Amino acid sequence: MTNNKDAPGVIEDAFPLSMLQQGMLFHSAKDEHLGVYHDVFSYEIEARWDEAAFDKMLDLLIDKHSILRTIYRVDGARPLQVVFEKKTPFLEVTDLRKYSKNEQNGILTEWLLAEKRVPIDTTKHVWKVFVHLLGDSQIQFGLSFHHALWDGWSVANFVSELFVGYAALLEGQTNFDAEKPPSYRSFVALEQQALNSSANKAYWANILLDAKTPWWTGEKSSESQFFLCEISKEQSEKIIALASELDVAEKSIWCAIYLSLIAILDGSLDVIGSIATHGRPELPNSDKMLGLFLNTLPLRVNLKNLRWRDLVKAVDHELREQYTYRHHPLVDVQNQTGLDFSASMFGYLNFRIYGDSGVKSKILGGQGFEETNYSMVVSVEKLESSRRHVFRINADAQLFDAASQTHIRAYVKNLVDNLTANKDKVISINKLIGTDERELQIKQWNHRETIDVGNQTLITALAQVQIKSPDAIALVLENVNLSYRQLDEQSSQMANV
């Protein structure tokens, strides 16, 4: 059964899309074949099925949250999000109870693979709900949406509210918190203020002066492949203890590990990463708001001569300082500096909503699909119940193939172990990789091709490479990396002495 009547009525509000929303819509249109920013999640939930109760709870949430009554109009002079007074949700229910568990799993996998290939028509439905009935007390809840609609916190909030309310309805309760949170337009207003700030522009111009992005910037060409870097219970405990000792957020330590990983892959000590940050408005009841309250901001550190504790402290300081500038959209920073920050992104997740609401105990399992325009996305999630961390990477499968992923797993383990055991020692990136890995990085990852020097002299051959790949690593000695450009400059200085 499918309920997808598109019958929008009276317009309640209309306001511009945020810059990040516009960017996501652009990339999803540009790389539609990759399913960029079309997210599909599926959760197996312990609950009996009552369609009337489920419909009622959906309607209550749609009435409460204006973002659920929103569509996008991008055909005018300025892209808009249009909010209707009422909106019928897309809901599709499929009964799989006659199939075996293995058959159900096969059908659900096929559904997820097929759904991620169906483009989201944001002029009709920005989000869709699918329910597969598995048994008398089990359902598979599917959520398909454009990421421009909301962030991970909002998804968790929505799922929690939906199933806590649904369970209450099944028990005969009728009283619900119907207080409407602030509109998403409050976030867009904060972004507009930031765009008009000369102080913001000066801050980013200073931070990113003469910055260079990783060698694989702008190279994304294929679907991302998901893989895990195992973090042991012992490693998690050491990270938690170190955060307390250094008086920093755990996020800062993981962000330092992420930036060090980028340094290894790029062969550079002057590192630039992109950090997912949250800009939820500080308004009454704003914690109940649904929407895309994200921004991605560049973070730059130079690892040269730093101890591990210095790096962690520097990252923690930068993250705190950036809080003031969290509403300044990344696209404006890119336009201002001419830099592309799509090489990588880091996100730290710590969703307490499921645990606080009790709904997590009803979620028996799940799977999902999400694709971005970033070549590599590193995310660390803290599981509060077990005090463990999950280190996930989604990376372009052509840029970072299976062999590269094996190396990356080893790098992450070495980084965690070295940081926690040697916090007062100077960072030596080259000592974190083996001889064969170092050869792979310098020869394959930096150049990706062999230059035939023929009968040229060494000086002529080096000059040729310096012109072709000036920022590639030419020389590695202990904790010093020199690019061909730097080697040429220092050679010229020596020659003129």
pLDDT, position 461? 60
Of 148, 171, 168, the residue nearest 72 (C-alpha): 148
pLDDT, position 143? 96
State pLDDT tens for residues 120-178: 999 999 999 999 999 999 999 999 999 999 998 899 899 999 999 999 999 998 888 77
pLDDT, position 366? 56
Q: What share of the chain is helix, strand, coil (3-state, %, to 5)?
A: 45, 25, 35
Of 16, 17, 31, the residue nearest 342 (C-alpha): 31
pLDDT, position 430? 77
Pairwise CA distance, residues 296 & 275, whole Å: 5
Pairwise CA distance, residues 387 & 389, whole Å: 7
Strand partners, 294: 278
pLDDT, position 448? 47
Whose structure tokens read 């511009």? 16
pLDDT, position 354? 47
Of 1, 361, 382, the residue nearest 163 (C-alpha): 361
Whose structure tokens read 């060698």? 215
pLDDT, position 325? 93
pLDDT, position 487? 73
Q: What is the mean pLDDT of each run of 10 residues along the chain (497 residues)?
A: 61 95 90 85 92 95 96 90 95 96 94 91 95 95 95 91 93 84 94 94 94 88 87 96 96 97 92 93 90 94 95 96 93 94 92 50 59 91 87 93 92 95 91 65 53 53 64 62 71 61
DSSP category for residue 440: I
Contact 90, 127 (CB under 8 A): yes
pLDDT, position 435? 58
pLDDT, position 30? 83
Close Cβ partners of 287 (under 8 Å, ≥ 6 residues apart):
280
Contact 364, 44 (CB under 8 A): yes
pTM of the model: 0.80
Of 288, 43, 13, the residue nearest 176 (C-alpha): 288
Pairwise CA distance, residues 461 & 453, whole Å: 6
pLDDT, position 360? 45
DSSP category for residue 472: S
Contact 382, 250 (CB under 8 A): yes
pLDDT, position 440? 58
pLDDT, position 352? 55
